[in-house]
Amino acid sequence: MSDLNKLTLAEARDRLRAGDVTSVALTEACLTAIDGADQLNAFVHKTPDLALERAKAADARIQQGDAPAMCGIPVGIKDLFCTEGVASQAASGILNGFRPEYESTVSAQLRDAGAVMLGKLNMDEFAMGSSNETSVYGNAVNPWKVDARNLTPGGSSGGSAAAVAADLCLAATGTDTGGSIRQPAAFTGTVGIKPTYGRCSRWGIVAFASSLDQAGPMTKTVRDAAIMLQAMCGHDPKDSTSADLPVPDFEAMLTGDIRGKTIGIPREYRIDGMPAEIAALWAQGADMLRDAGAKIVDISLPHTKYALPAYYVIAPAEASSNLARYDGVRYGHRAKLAAGDGITQMYEKTRAEGFGAEVQRRVMIGTYVLSAGFYDAYYNRARKVRSLIKRDFDTVFADGIDAILTPATPSAAFGLGEMANADPVQMYLNDVFTVTVNLAGLPGIALPAGLDAQGLPLGLQLIGRPWEEGELLKTAHVLEGVAGFVSKPAKWW
Amino acid sequence: MSEIDLETARKVAHLARIAVPDENLPALAQDLSRILTFMEELNEVDVTGVEPMTSVTPMRLKRRVDDVTDGDIQPRILSNAPDAREGFFAVPKVVE
């Protein structure tokens, strides 16, 4: 019964229901894999006792015939999700020691459906980063490796991506503010979907930029993404921005038939300096969808170029406001004070010690763009540009486009440390293909479509109409089938 | 090209309540200047007559009944406090 950790979520579900595998056996296989993968630094808080307890309860439930799809499935939870009684610190020193008294809605829905949490996953601090190098836990490492270098699994959901790609869990939760599910999925040969803004409750997820943040699943296949997304979605009275809309049966929508769909190829995504391999993969993806019966048309999203600068005004502005709560009073780290220090020194020292460099930078940028005299020039202008970016998408959807195909990232995974001396803006360019989707609140999915010349996975992104995750998954499922990506990283850890 | 001087960097750090030692201010000012220069690409866009986005999904926020739904959980509220005394969050003296 070895290698149970390598099953897909769908395979595990079917075998659990058939009674030929138990959740305890699945969970033990994953716990063994996790203990053997410390070099990847993906799981940063392990919860084996809790996992086995939940696995036993899941087995009992399955025996009684009460088994939702996620029942008994071992999953990893990104450290951004508050989990009751289990360390939850958004990979930040400022939340050192924080053990929430409550469970985020999304992780509670998974728990209540019988999913088994194996532990908490590494990420960039407060989800700010594209390489998992801003984490207080240290870098997460990509299981894909082509030479002596350790590669980034991407970020911010780098631990989630590494854990799924290395078969440490069957699936994981991620969150995506500017590409933090889709970019790491692309870097690790896994599938990640960011649903429409409002599909998943944000309650209990440490807030970064509230108008952009969404949770989503990170999985081995599109089918698994459909199954897990279903369990994560739904209206939550505790999040006023969560949508009170019915959640369709996403898996049932994977019919394999996309004949008659119209797929747009946005010309503005052909950026200068795009590697030839990525351009070729993108063209192949379009051909595959055409061969499957879709119509491929060129489209224009004219404000694409302004998405990154608009994002890097709006996201830090919201972050500076959201992160004001980390003040050393109610939870987490408090600096040791010198004699005579007052409350202002307490705040300033606590935040200087607790926040890493990138978080400090973004909080200060956000503070600046919201400050008197600059609010209109930066923040309001960015929000107007955001309206125009959304209007670009509204226009092509109104013209009959069903989904949009783009590359997921401008490169394959790069080496950890290679961007250490780069301008912060260079790192931000990782999000160039993904950030528009957050600004417009749309669903987007990244899926592996091929390997580059070095042997590293490359991903494509499909962007869907609002609330049409089911149709998006259907198209992605067809593309996945034709692309036939089956490579796995060779185990070196 | 936007230039953030040391005084502005110091002021922003204070507004953000982050202690930045003087020797780190030049690097901070340079980082902030680079990022702001990047943001200034937005000045190329004609935004005449465009409303700033307030909500990305055109939905009315749901209202709920203004009821007390929980409470009496003081120990749980205080359980993560760095310094809690006699049922309160404790901080350094604020008023002399």
Report yes or no on B36 lying in a domain. Answer: yes
pLDDT at position B96 over 90: no
Question: A98, A239, A381, A437: which to substitute to probe chain B, counting the most B Cβ within 10 Å?
Answer: A381
Top-confidence residue, A441 or A428: A441
Q: Do A313 and B32 touch (CB under 8 A)?
A: no
Cβ–Cβ < 8 Å for A143, A489: yes
- Supply the pLDDT for residue B61: 77
User: How many other CB atoms are there within 10 angstroms of residue B2's CB atom?
Assistant: 14
Please state, in angstroms and rounded to a whole number, the distance separating the CA atoms of residues A406 and A264: 9
C-alpha distance from B68 to closest chain A C-alpha (Å): 13
* Banded model confidence at residue A430, pLDDT cuts 50, 70, 90: confident
Q: Do A388 and B45 touch (CB under 8 A)?
A: yes
Report yes or no on B13 lying in a domain. Answer: yes
Number of separate domains in chain B: 1
Top-confidence residue, A320 or A422: A320
Q: Do B53 and A381 touch (CB under 8 A)?
A: no
pLDDT digit string, tens, across residues A139-179: 999 999 999 999 999 999 999 999 999 999 999 999 999 99
Calculate ∠ Cα A42-A46-A52, nearest 5°.
125
Please state, in angstroms and rounded to a whole number, the distance separating the CA atoms of residues A359 and A197: 24
Chain A's closest residue to B51, CA to CA, is: A384
pLDDT digit string, tens, across residues B17-51: 999 999 999 999 999 999 899 999 999 999 999 99
Give me the residue label for tokens 């209206």.
Answer: A235
Report yes or no on whether pTM surpasses 0.95: yes
CB nearest to A424's CB, from B35, B54, B94: B35
CB contacts under 8 A, A 81-120 vs B, are: 97-101
Percent residues over pLDDT 70 in chain A: 100
Please state, in angstroms and rounded to a whole number, the distance separating the CA atoms of residues A73 and A79: 19
Catalytic residue among A23, A88, A131, A156: A156
Question: B40, B45, B79: which to substitute to probe chain A, counting the most A Cβ within 10 Å?
Answer: B45
> Which residues of B fall within a CB distance of 8 Å from A306?
41-42, 44-45
- Supply the pLDDT for residue B93: 83
A346 touches chain B (CB under 8 A): yes
Q: Which of B25, B24, B33, B31 is nearest to B9 (CA)?
A: B25
Across the beta sheet with A191-194, what order do the strands follow? A43-46, A116-121, A74-78, A171-176, A214-219, A191-194, A444-451, A457-464, A403-407, A262-266, A295-299
Report yes or no on B94 lying in a domain. Answer: no
Mean pLDDT over B73-91 rounds to 96
Active site residue A180: yes
C-alpha distance from A154 to closest chain B C-alpha (Å): 21
Distance of CA A447 to the CA centre of its chain: 12
Give me the residue label for tokens 């809309």.
Answer: A245
How is A359-420 classified by DSSP, letter by letter?
HHHHHHHHHHHHSTTTIIIIIIHHHHHHHHHHHHHHHHHHTT--EEEEES-SSS--BTTTTT
Q: Do A351 and B43 touch (CB under 8 A)?
A: no
Please state, in angstroms and rounded to a whole number, the distance separating the CA atoms of residues A94 and A17: 43
Q: Do B35 and A365 touch (CB under 8 A)?
A: yes
Cβ–Cβ < 8 Å for A162, A40: yes
C-alpha distance from A59 to closest chain B C-alpha (Å): 32
Chain B's closest residue to A428, CA to CA, is: B35
pLDDT at position B62 over 60: yes
C-alpha distance from A380 to closest chain B C-alpha (Å): 6
A-B Cβ pairs (cutoff 8 Å, strict)? 169
C-alpha distance from B60 to closest chain A C-alpha (Å): 9
Q: ipTM of the predicted structure?
A: 0.95
- Supply the pLDDT for residue B1: 56
Q: Do B82 and A101 touch (CB under 8 A)?
A: no
Report yes or no on B60 lying in a domain. Answer: no
Report yes or no on B72 lying in a domain. Answer: no
Active site residue A156: yes
User: How many other CB atoms are there within 10 angstroms of residue A98's CB atom?
Assistant: 20
pLDDT at position A1 over 50: no
Tokens representing residue A79 in the block: 């450290």
A367 touches chain B (CB under 8 A): yes
Report yes or no on B20 lying in a domain. Answer: yes
Calculate ∠ Cα A64-A62-A168, nearest 5°.
165
Q: Which of A393, A417, A406, A371 is nearest to A468 (CA)?
A: A393
Report yes or no on B37 lying in a domain. Answer: yes
> Which residues of B fall within a CB distance of 8 Å from A390?
53, 56
- Supply the pLDDT for residue A126: 98
pLDDT at position B80 over 90: yes
Mean pLDDT taken over chain A:
96
Q: Do A384 and B51 touch (CB under 8 A)?
A: yes
Active site residue A371: no
- Supply the pLDDT for residue A272: 86
pLDDT digit string, tens, across residues A193-249: 999 999 999 999 999 999 999 999 999 999 999 999 999 999 999 999 999 999 999
**Domain coverage including residue B23:** 6-43
Q: Which residues of B8-20 are buried (b: 16+ CB within 10 A; e: fewer)?
A: bbeebbebbbbbb
Report yes or no on B52 lying in a domain. Answer: no
C-alpha distance from B71 to closest chain A C-alpha (Å): 13
**CATH number of the domain that residue B14 is part of:** 1.10.20
CB nearest to B57's CB, from A197, A360, A371: A197
A336 touches chain B (CB under 8 A): no
Catalytic residue among A131, A180, A201, A320: A180
